[in-house]
Structure formats: C-alpha cells, structure tokens
Chains A and B, each alone.
Chain A
Amino acid sequence: MNTNKTVLITGASKNLGNYLTRFYLEKDFKVIGVTKKSKSKINKDTYLCDLSDAKKTEKVFKKIKKKYKKIDLIISCAGISKKTYTKNETIKDWQFAFNNNFFCFTNLLDSYLKVYKKKSTKIIVISSIASNKITSAPITYSVAKSALNFYAQIKAKDLAKNDIKINILLPGNILMKNNNWSKKLQVNSSKVKNYIKTNVPLNTFCKPQQIAEMCDYLFGKSGDYITGSKFIIDGGESL
C-alpha cells in the first residue's frame, strides 16, 4: 500500500503508459496522467496536454501543483515512432520526431523544475534501444531518442545536488495488445518469430511488466544511489 505516493505518467493513455498507469493504480499510488489526445479510460486524474508546447506544459504543471504539492515519481513515457522507415526524411519528419520524443521531455523537465522549484523527485525516462543500436526504426526516431538520453544524463549530473534522480530505460521489442509488434505478428508471425530467435539471446519479447518492475526497483530505496544510468532491457539484443 502506497497511499501517500504520487506518480506522474506522460503518454498515459496508450501502450506502455497505459500499462504503467494500471500498475501503479494497483499499487495504490495516486496516478496523474498526462496525454496528448485521448483521456485515459482507467484513470480519472488525466490532463490533456501537448508536451511539445512549452507554454502549455507549464500551464498544466501549474494546474497539477494546485492539487499535488509533491510528485514522488515521474515517468516520461510519451514518444511516437512513424511506422515506416524512409531514407528521404524531410525537415517535417525531423520536427515530428524531435517534438514527440525529445522536446516533450525537455518541456516536462523545465516545467517541473520551475513550478515545483527543484523539489526532490525521481524521474524515469522511457527511451528505446533504437537510441543505442542501429535498428530498423526510422533514423529520425533513433536520433531523437539518442539526444533524449544524452540530455537526460547531462541533467541528471546537474540536478543530483538537488536530490533529483534521472534514469533512462531502453526497452527492446515490447509485445502488447495492439502495439506495433503485435500488428507485425499478425501480418507475418513466422518472420517476426525468426527475427526474435536470431537477434534476441533470451529468445522472447519484452513484457511490459518487466519495464514496470525496473521502474519499481529504481523508485524504491535500493535505487537511491543510481542516477544518470541507462538500463537496457532487451533480452541481450544489443550485445
């Protein structure tokens, strides 16, 4: 039971963000959701906000501050990848990738620091193994996630003295209902299974629960001496 703990989750209405919302609600946390378009079906306390807009982000944080004096954990789950890989990416593609995978976190962090006056907290940034390894993901997405990692590490070093800890999770191949991998499996199951068999030493997909357990570990006392670290949860794919 964690009735006094508060977690803020961005990208809370879909996929991993939705899973983490449910995970922390079941642990009796107060969960604050922030989503871009649709409100979460499982959490009433959800705020609509396009985090790539700095002013809107600050405004939503001011609103949240009125209700919650302290946020114990922030999980930045917002992020989008265009499904198709193109070798002719345009400036619009780059803007899309950076707005949705990089600026949505810089704005989140800046607003938190400003509104909550650098109050001690733990922050977990959900990145991707595409930020660390050349994969079939679009280059715009991979580079934006890579920039996100480096930004988060620089900030972790800077904010350690304020007891604000920032760590980065780099999941590989998460399989969830209706997500990209699930759709790929429906289209060509044997090709996808063969990919996993050939490329992932543990020979399985990543389960969202495995990401949640890592968040839980970092949030707990055992994670008190860890900041600025990258955690690769990919069954060994990037070895």
Chain B
Amino acid sequence: MKDFKQEKTRVDQADRTIYNVKDRLDPAFLMDSGITPEIVNQISKEKNEPEWMRLFRLKSLKLYNEIPLPTWGPSLDELNMDQIVTYVRPKSTMKAKWSDVPDDIKETFERLGIPKAERKSLAGVGAQYDSEVVYHNVRAEVASKGVVYTDIESALTGPYSEMIRKHFMKLVPPSDHKFAALHGAVWSGGSFVYVPAGVTVEIPLQSYFRLNAPGAGQFEHTLIIVEEGAYLHFIEGCSAPRYYVANLHAGCVELYVGKNARLRYSTIENWSKNMYNLNTKRASVEEGGTVEWISGSFGSHISYLYPMSILKGKKARMEFTGITFAGEGQNLDTGAKVLHAAPDTTSHISTKSISRDGGNSTFRSVVTVTEKAEGSKSAVSCESLMLDSISRSDTIPVMDISCNQADIGHEAKIGRISESAIFYLMSRGLSEDDARALIVGGFAEPIAKELPLEYAVEMNNLIHLEMKGSIG
C-alpha cells in the first residue's frame, strides 16, 4: 500500500562558506559604539571633510534623535544603536591596484570573486571594506570617455565637489525617515559615478560592500548621475560573515537619470543573517529617461528595502524586477515605490517571493499618480510561493491615483505549486519530482534572466532547490 506521508520539498540554504569567512579584526581606527555629536564630529575630522558636510552631519543627527522608529514593518526593537559601531577604518587607504591592497583584505575579495569578475566582465570596480573604500579602478577606455567612477570621499574634495554638494541627499533628504537621518549623520564610503551626455558604458561597473567587523554599521553612499542620452549598468553586491551580535546596514543610493538616459541598477543582497538592512534607494528620472531596478534579496535578519522612482519628466519609465527569498530567522520587507509626476510616464513592477522554514516575506509598494500624470500607465504584479505552513508571506500594496487619464493595473497571487501544472507536466512524460523541480525553478527564472550571467549563477546557488518527494 502506498505510504501517503509526503516529504516536503527542501529548499536548502546556499553554501555560505565563502561569505562567512571572518577576517581577523585589525582596523586602523575603530570608533566607540553609539552615536553622539562627538562621534559625528570625529568621523568628519577623520575624513578631513569640508565644513558644510560636518554641519550637515550634525543637522542629520538632530533629526535622527527627533524622528521615531517606523510604526509599520518588522520590529526593530532588538536593534540597539548604542551597541553599533558607526565607523571602522580598515588598515588601508584606497588603492587603484589589487596588488597594493593588504593581503588579508585582498584575499577576502578574491574569495568573493571580485578581481576575477573585474578582469572578465566589468568596466570598473569599487570595493568597500567596513567603512572605507579600499580599491577603486575604472578601465582606461571608459575613463577616456569622461566617465567618472570614484569613491565619494575623493569626489567630495576633488573637482566634482560642487556636483556632490548639489546632489548629495537631495533625493533622500535626512528628514525622510529615521535611518535616512542616521545615514546623513554617519555616512562613510560609497561610490560616485558620472556618465557624460551621450556616453554609453557598454559593460557594467560594480561596487562591492563587505562588512567584516562584528557589531558594526555600514553607511555607504552611492551617487550616480547619468546625463542626457547616456547609458550605464551599475551592479551592487554586498555580504558579511555571520556574527551573534547585530550588524546594521543603512546605506543610501541616489540616482539621477537625465533626459533620454537609461540606468540599470542591479543588486544582489546577501548580507549575513544577523544584519539589519535598512537601505534607502531613490531615482529621479527626467523626460524620456529610464531606470531599471533588478533586486535580489537573500540575506539579512531584517530588511526594509523599497527602491523609489520619481518619474518627473514626460515619458519617463521605470521597471522594477525583484526576488526575495526568506528563510529561517528572516523577516524581509521589500518592494518598490513609484511616483508618476509627469504625463505619459510608465512603471512596471514585477516581484516574486519564496518563504520557507519560518521565514517571513512581505511585499510592500506604493504607486502614486498625480494630477499631472495624464496618459500614464502602471502595472504591478507580485507572486508569492509558500513552501510550508510555518512561514508567512504578506502583500501590502497601495495605489494612490489622482488622475482620471491614467491606466493602473495590479495583480497579486499567493499560493503553492499548482497541482494541475504538475499533472500537465507529468502527462508530458516528466516524473512528479522533475515536474515540481521544474516549476519551482521556473518561478525564479524571470528574475534570473534579468541578471548578468555570473550573478544569475550566484542567485541559482543561493536558491539551490533540492527536490525530494512532493510539496503539500
């Protein structure tokens, strides 16, 4: 007699060995934990910043102390800011050659495959270790087109200082929310990219952020300006070894997409599972411009991540493609926001999420269409797959429409693997296990195909699906 006891599909963790290697803690400078005006002044002094930035940091700190924690989203009660070290300077200044980077730090990035990727498929690389950028380089042929790719501290005091001052935290003002204010106060590291008008950067640039110090925060700032008619693909990767104390990532990304320009921003987020990932990303898109967000969220203990696009020019476009994979001990609250503020603008949000082993995945979005956005179109689609009944998957979209000449569509689906799909595939000759493997694998495929090949491979490693028996 057939045993009807069914084994659950196993969706295993990826092998995190390469991410979990912990370097010996050997910084050149380690700030006291907590956040005070003295610490903020000290960070500014360490960086030899202009006075306006020091004042900006202090103003942000004041806002940080005034703004309450969010009353929605995953609980942040266990995040004790008094125990977070906001600044850790590694024992290396920024280098333009990997051979000049200290061996232990270089080995970390070697293990993560960054120098190899740079040689094979990138136009430039920035590598940040704890609070400072340790490596930055851009190919000569790209630099010769006028493309600037450097760490943001150098840009702040160099020939682009006025450009930085004009754009820095203008899209994401410190008053936006508590962790934007925190970022304004203690930001450190990150990248500045400037692509002149009409220039196409044919192969991507990448910044990789590695947080090694336990109990530390990483607050890098990424500022990208893509001028009229230009194109750039920027890739952001991040990881950290797992510790038993909370780490915090409160970075900020500001993207300025010019008229008829196009910017593709890909992120593979693979923080360790003690990380609070409270990142803020925002893009401003001028007439005819396009911003494309590709986002894979795999790591972190708790995430709040909702890239926002402000479509301020006529016919501006945004596309957001994201996947979230929440496993044991993870509460990942992710999604996207878009503001249609000009006529004939278009947005398309497509997300997938998988919850398993008690993981909690939430899709959260807001689509706002103002009175000015006549002829605009928006489509939102989110699909969630639940792999067991101890996990959660929630969908919380908002549509705020103040224009009667717009077309807005939204659809969401949640559930398990369709029995009829399995039946169909089995009728075509596949075994039940193969049919289930094909369906689960195919669920994430639309996202994987948007990624550069090596990142698609990394994602497939992260979602390693081992099929045993059946779901249900």
A and B pair up: no
